[in-house]
Structure 1
Amino acid sequence: MQRIDHNPVEGIYPADDYIHAVEVRDPRRFLFVAGTMGLNPDWSAGRTVDEQLDLIWSNIRTILASADMSVDNVVRATSYLRDRAYAEKNAAARLKALGGRRIPTTAIVAETLADDWLIEIEVIAAA
Structure 2
Amino acid sequence: MELVPHNPTDGVYPASDDYVHAMEVRGASRLLFVAGTMGLDPAGRPGAGLAEQLDLIWSNIRTILASAGMTVANIVRLTSYLRDSSYAEANAAARVEALGGRPVPTTAIVAATLVSDWLVEIEVIAAG
TM-score (norm 1): 0.97
Q: Confirm or deny that 1:113 pairs with 2:119.
A: no
Kindly tell me the number of residue pairs found equivalent between the two proteins: 127
CA distance in 2: counterparts of 1:14 and 1:125, whole angstroms: 24
Aligned to 2:7: 7
Query: Does the alignment pair 1:24 with 2:25?
Result: yes
Cα shift readout 1:14-73 (whole Å, capped 9, x = no counterpart): 221211000001211000000000000111101111111010000000000000000000
How many Å separate the matches in 1 of 2:4 and 2:11?
20
Identity over aligned pairs, percent: 69
Per the alignment, residue 38 of structure 1 pairs with: 39
Stretches of 4+ aligned residues off by more than 3 angstroms: none
The gaps in structure 2 that reach 5 residues or longer are: none
Any stretches of 5+ residues in structure 1 without a counterpart? none
Residue 75 (structure 1) aligns with: 76
Matched residues in 2 for 1:92 and 1:13: separation?
22
2-side partners of 1:85 and 1:40: how far apart? 23
SS in 2 for 1:88: helix
Q: Distance in 2 between matches of 1:53 and 1:9?
A: 32
Deviation at 1:12, TM superposition (A): 1.6
CA RMSD after TM alignment: 0.7
